[in-house]
Amino acid sequence: MNKEKIVEKLIELLDFTEATLTEVDEDLLKNTGLESFIYVKLTTQKFRNAALSKKMKRYIRSVIKDSIEQNRAIHITVPFGGYKHYKNKYYPNIGWAEVFNLIHLLDYVKVISKAYKPGIILEYFYDEIFVERLNKIPQKDLDTYNKNFADLCAHYNELTPSHIDIRYSKISDKVGPEVLHTRFDKAIEKLEKEWDDLGEDAKNIRLGKARRNYAFSIEHLSGSQQNEILKEPALIHDAFIFGDWEEGVHWAFENYMIPIGFRYTGEWGIGIYSSKGGSSVQFWVGHGVLQIVEDKVKPHIYTHKQLEQIKSSIESINLDLQYPFPDSIIISH
């Protein structure tokens, strides 16, 4: 497939097409009712990458029921990092992974919005307030990413009908940064006292996560020196996951919201693929790649390691698309 054809198919992929209810959809809606129809569409294996616990199933049904009774939009939330991984070619801007994720999620919700008059709210929640401390990414780069992402959401809000509302929020919009950092420091202090009691395997897992996202090269240092540096971001990550800093912070997990994620969802959300290509890579740390398969194009999201493994079969082509889309894209043959 030549470049012109690839770009043509990419533009088709980027366009938003409103959903129509198929005959199967109409029958499902008629035979099971609106509540069950929405539940089936939210939990379909076409999009889902993980099993749902009984607790999560009950929660989803409860939110759907309450939303219908109150004539309220189904509120889907996407908590995510709010930054681009420093190894990504588009850093600090958004890349194609962000674009592929958004168009995938629009596909996920648009049939529901067609059947349910109050529609869908699709809200991305940035947790970037801790990233500068966690990964050492400068705040100015985080601000650049957040503006790009907000502009991407605004672009698609103009394309989608009124019953799909794309939103973006930051934790720091909900409560002052000073309050959050004070709470965070208390959680870190507690976790640091418990650090030595962790087993070596538990420590290595935490240090490994910190190493993958740390924005500076420390490979020239000894192993013990690296671990000493990475201990702080490891503690910060644990404080974010396990600390009680969220008290009174109204973000992605309110009782009228249904959160979704792409990995490690457990009992807090619906685990779905992060792109049409069946990827489960978290988009903000991933590379968006357009796979060329015969006469079709398939969007996919790769980790940095996965991209290195296929580097002999990829190339980057320049594009002449308007902002907020990136000016080049990696394709895989």
Question: For the segment 229-258, what is each residue's pLDDT rounded down to a tens digit?
Answer: 999 989 988 988 887 877 777 888 999 999
Residue by residue, what is the 3-state secondary structure of 35-49? HHHHHHHHHCCCCEC
Q: Which residues contact 189 (CB under 8 A, 6 or more apart)?
A: none
Query: Is residue 38 a contact partner of residue 236, using CB atoms and an 8 Å limit?
Result: no
Are residues 29 and 163 both part of a single domain? yes
DSSP per-residue string spanning 289-304 = EEEEETTEEEEEEE-H
Q: What separation in angstroms does the CA of 62 have from each of 76, 178, 231, 321?
A: 14, 35, 41, 43
Question: Does the N-terminal peptide bond of residue 324 adopt cis geometry, omega within 30 degrees of 0?
Answer: yes
End position of a domain, from candidates 204, 221, 242: 242
Indicate if 183 and 322 belong to the same structural domain: no
Q: Are residues 195 and 314 in the same domain?
A: no
User: How far apart (Å, rounded) are the C-alpha atoms in residues 131 and 263?
Assistant: 19
| Residue found by looking up tokens 């069946």 in the block | 278
Based on the fold, state whether residues 160 and 40 are members of the same structural domain: yes
Bridge partners, 301 (sequence order): 288
Helices (H) and strands (E) in the chain, counts: 12, 9
Which stretches of 171-276 are assigned E, i.e. beta strand? 257-261, 270-271
DSSP percent split of the chain into helix, strand, coil, nearest 5 = 50, 15, 35
Q: Write down which residue in 200, 216, 242 finishes a domain.
A: 242
Q: Do 14 and 109 fall within a single domain?
A: yes
Q: Which residues of the chain have pLDDT under 70?
A: none
Output the six-digit token pair for 253: 């997990």
Spatial separation of the C-alpha atoms in residues 277 and 96, rounded to whole Å:
13
Q: Are residues 268 and 235 in the same domain?
A: no
- Mean pLDDT of all residues in the chain? 93
pLDDT digits (tens, 9 = 90+) for 160-217: 999 999 999 988 777 777 888 888 889 999 999 999 999 999 999 999 988 888 887 8
231 and 105 both lie in a single domain: no
Residues 164 and 206: their CA atoms lie apart, in Å, by 38
pLDDT at 162: 94
Q: Are residues 135 and 22 part of one domain?
A: yes
Do both 72 and 147 map to the same domain?
Answer: yes
**Residue 138 lies in domain:** 3-175+248-332
Total of domains in the chain: 2
pTM: 0.93
- Say what angle helices 96-115 and 139-159 make with each other, to 10 degrees: 40
Same domain, 265 and 154: yes
Distance CA 96, CA 327 (A): 10
Secondary structure class of 85 (helix, strand, coil): coil
Three-state SS at 314: strand
Are residue 150 and residue 286 in the same domain, yes or no?
A: yes
Pick the last residue of a domain from 242, 258, 275.
Answer: 242
Shared domain for 188 and 300, answered yes or no, is no
What is the predicted pLDDT for the residue at 272?
96
25-36 as b/e: b if 16+ CB within 10 A: beebbeeeeeee
Integer angstrom CA distances of residue 11 from 15, 166, 329: 6, 20, 12
